[in-house]
Amino acid sequence: MNIDFKTRLFNVCVVLLTLFFIVPPAESSSTSSIHHRLTIKLEPVTRFATIVDTVQFKPFRKNCESFSFTLHAALKLSHHLLPAGWTMKTSVYNNIEGRLHKIDILKNDSTPCPETFSMELGYSGVLLELSPDETAGSGRFFIAGDSYFYPQFSEPSSLLRFEMQVSLPQPWHSVSQGQRFEGAISQARNTVTWKSSKPSEEIYLIGDRYHIYEDEHNGLSLYAFLLDAEEKLAEKYLVTAKAYIDFYSKLIGPYPYEKFALVENSQQTGYGMPSFTLMGSRIIRFPFILNSSYPHEILHNWWGNGVFPDLKQGNWSEGLTAYLADHLLLELKGKGASYRFQEMMKFSNYVNEANDFPLSAFAYRDSMSSQAIGYAKLLMVFHMLRTQLGDANFIEGLQKFYTTFKYRYAGYADMEKVFEAVSGQNLSEFFEQWIHRKGAPEISLKESSYVAREGRYDLSVRVEQVSPRFKLRLPIAIWTLGSPVAEIYYVNLGRDRQTFNFNLTGEPLAVRLDPYNDVLRRLGAEESPASLSQTYGAQRVMATVSENEQSAYQPFAQAVAEPKNILPAKTEYPDGGLWVFGHNHPLKKMLTAQLKQSGIEVEEGGIRIQGQTYPWENHSFVFTLNRIEPKQGTLTWVIADKEASIPGLIRKLPHYGKYGYLVFGGTAPDNRNKGIWPSNPIGLQKVFRKGHSLSLPEQKPLANFNPFN
C-alpha cells in the first residue's frame, strides 16, 4: 500500500511524541530501592531457621512518620536494631497466607526523615513452604515470599534486591536468584551466598541434596541442580540453555539476570523464577521438554521476571511467553497454523458463557478454562497484533517494551503506547476489543458465487458472524485456475453480515476464510475434530460406568462429573459431554461401529490402529467421538485392563486434551500411541471445482534465525 507524504509525516510525529512520553528505563525507579542482607542458618528436616536480616531502603514519602513490615507470626523476634529516634511496635493479624506479625517502625517527632533508612531484625522459627513436600521429614524445601520468611514492605509494588547467606548441613544445597558464591565448609555445613543485584518481586529459597553442574556462556553462569549424579542429562540442559538464551537475547534484548539454572524438583512442577526454573523430576527426563517447556521457562526471565505484569490490568506475561516460545518454535518448523488451531480448540472447548472473562481479569491459571483464556486466547491476540502491525514493527515493539520497562511493572496500557509509538497506528480499539471484552467471534462463509464477464471473473463472498460482533481483519484465500497457490486477500469485517467482491483474472476454484488460522474465533462444531478437551470442558459433564466394573471406575467417574451426573449404564443419555467407562458397557456396539468408520477395529484380542494391534492385556484405551445426531456434544470411552492404571489415567489425561484417541501401556501408564482426528474447514470454505490441489503460500516465521543455527 502506498502512503502519501502527509500520512508518513503524521506517523513520524506520533512516534516521536509517544516515545517522548514513555516512562524512562526501570533502573531509576524508586520502587526497586529495598535491599535485604540476610544470614540464614537452616535445618532442612525440621525447617527450623535462625535468621538475621538487615533491611535498607529509601523512604517512599517525604513525610516518613512510620514504616510497616509484615513477617510470619510463626517466627519469634529475638532482637532489633534501629537508628536513634525510632521505635518498634508489633502486633499479630490474619490474612490469606495465615497469621502475620505487623511490624511498625515509628519516628519521634524531633527526628528528621533520613535519606536512607536501615534496620536489623533477628528472629527464628519453622519456615513454612509455598508448596509442602509430599514426604514429611525429607529435608526438601521450597520457600517463597508467600511464606513471609523475611520482612515485607506494606507499600504496593515494592521491588527488592538482596544478599542472602544460607548455611545448611551437608549434603544439602540451597538455590535462589542471583549469583552464587561458595563459602568455606566448616562443621560439616555448606554455606553459600546468593547476591541478586537486579530487582525482583520476592525472594525464593529452595533446597535439596543436589549434585551441582556448572558452565559459563559469554560471562553468564549456568547451572544444573540435579537430585542424582547425571552428567549427561545436565550437559543437555546446559547446552540447550545457551542456545535459547542467545536466541531470545537476539530477538528481544540482553538476558536480564546474572545466571540461569535448571533446578530439579521431586514434585512435578514447571515454574519460572528470576534466573532459574524449577522443573519436576519426571518432566525433565522427557526428551521433548528440552525444546518445549524448557525454553518457555527460560523466556519467562524476559516476560514475567524481567518485566513484571501489572496484575491490576491483567497478566500478559503467560500469553506472550507462550506465543514467543511454544508457538514460535513450532512456527520455525512450519507448524504455526496447526498450533494456532489447537489453541483455538482449547478456547472453544473449555470456555463458555458461564466461565468466560476478559483478558484484563486474568491473573493466574486455576482451571482449564482460565488457562484457555490467559494462554491460548492471549497467544492469538498477540498473533493478530503482529499481523496488523507487520513483523518488523511487532519485533521492534517487543524490544522497546522490554527496554523501557525492564525490572518494572507494566500493563496493557503501557504495551499499547509502545506499539502505537513504533507503528504509528492508533491501537485503542484493538486493545479495548481484545483485552477488555470477553468472548471471541464466530464466523462462517454463508455464500459464495462468481460470474464470468469478458475476460474477468466477479467473485462474491458473503461472511456472517454470530452476535455480539467483533471487528476483524480477516484473511481470505482464493484459488484460481492456472495458479499453483492461493492469493491471500484481507478484508475488514465489522457487521453481522457483509459481502465482499473480488475482480479476478482467473476462474475461481475455491474460497476459504482464515486459511492460516490467524484470527481468534470459536471453531464451528463440524470444523473442530472430536477431542478429549471437549468432553472435559462441556458445560454439562456426565459419566456412566458398566455395571460389573463399578468399583474400578467409580473414582474416575467422581473425578470428572458431579455425583448427580453419574448415571446408570444404559444406551440413551442427555446432550453434553459423556464419559463412558468399561469394556462391556451397553454403548459398546454403537461405539465399535463408530470407530470402524474412522479406521479403528475393535477385535476380540485387542484394538487395531493403523495396522498395529494392541492387546487388551496390559493396555488402556481412550477414544473421543462426536455423539451421534441429534445428540450434541462428545463422548469419551475409557477402557483399562488393570484397575491399578486408573489413578495414572486420571492424572495424565488432562494433558492430552487435543487428542481423539490414546493408547497407554502398563500401570504407570505410559503413552504408546496417540492421534488427532482430521479437521474439516466446513463452514469456512467453498469449492467450485473439485480435483485441484489447494495449496497456500508459505508463511514466514517471526524470526529468520533459530536457536540452533
Mean per-residue pLDDT of the chain: 91
The helix (run of H) or strand (run of E) holding residue 320 is: helix 317-322
Instruction: Give the pLDDT score at 679.
Output: 85
- Establish whether domains 308-436 and 443-527+683-687 are of one fold: no
Q: What are residue 634's phi and psi, to 5 degrees? A: -120, 165
Angle formed by the axes of helices 412-423 and 378-389, to 10°? 20
- Our separate counts of H helices and E strands in the chain read 16, 38
Query: What would the grid cell of residue 125 be?
Result: 522459627
The domain ranges of the chain are 33-208, 308-436, 443-527+683-687, 532-675
Kind of pairing between the strands at 220-226 and 259-265 = parallel
Domain 532-675 sits in CATH at 3.30.379
Give the pLDDT of residue 150: 97
The residue among 659, 646, 571, 654 whose CA lies nearest residue 609 is 659
CATH class name, domain 443-527+683-687: mainly beta
**Domain 308-436's class?**
mainly alpha
Residue with cell 530487582: 199
- So what CATH class is 33-208? mainly beta
Burial of 347 (0-12, 13-18, 19+ CB in 10 A): buried
DSSP state of 310: -
* Beta-sheet strand order (sheet of 487-493): 487-493, 472-480, 508-513, 685-687
Res. 5: pLDDT tops 70: no
What average pLDDT does the segment 471-498 reach? 96
Nearest to 377 by CA among 365, 395, 388: 365
Residue 153's pLDDT is: 86
Q: Per-residue DSSP letters for 127-161?
A: PPPSS--SSTTS--EEE-GGG--S-EESSTT--EE
Answer left, alpha or beta for residue 606, where phi above 0 means left and psi between -120 and 50 means alpha. left
What is the tens place of the pLDDT at every residue in 171-206?
999 999 999 999 866 678 999 999 999 999 999 999
Is omega for the bond preceding 701 within 30 degrees of 0, making it cis? Answer: no
pLDDT at 19 over 80: no
CA distance 688 to 510: 5
* Res. 131 pLDDT band, cuts 50 70 90: low
Burial environment of residue 476 by CB neighbours within 10 A (0 to 12, 13 to 18, 19 or more): buried
Kindly state the cell numbers that stand for 289. 521438554
pTM comes to: 0.88
Higher pLDDT: 244 or 19? It is 244
Residue 703 C-alpha from the chain's centroid: 21
Lowest mean pLDDT among 93-97, 365-369, 420-424: 93-97
What is residue 462's predicted lDDT score, i.e. its pLDDT?
98
CA–CA separation, 330 and 621 (whole Å): 28
- Classify 535 as helix, strand or coil: helix
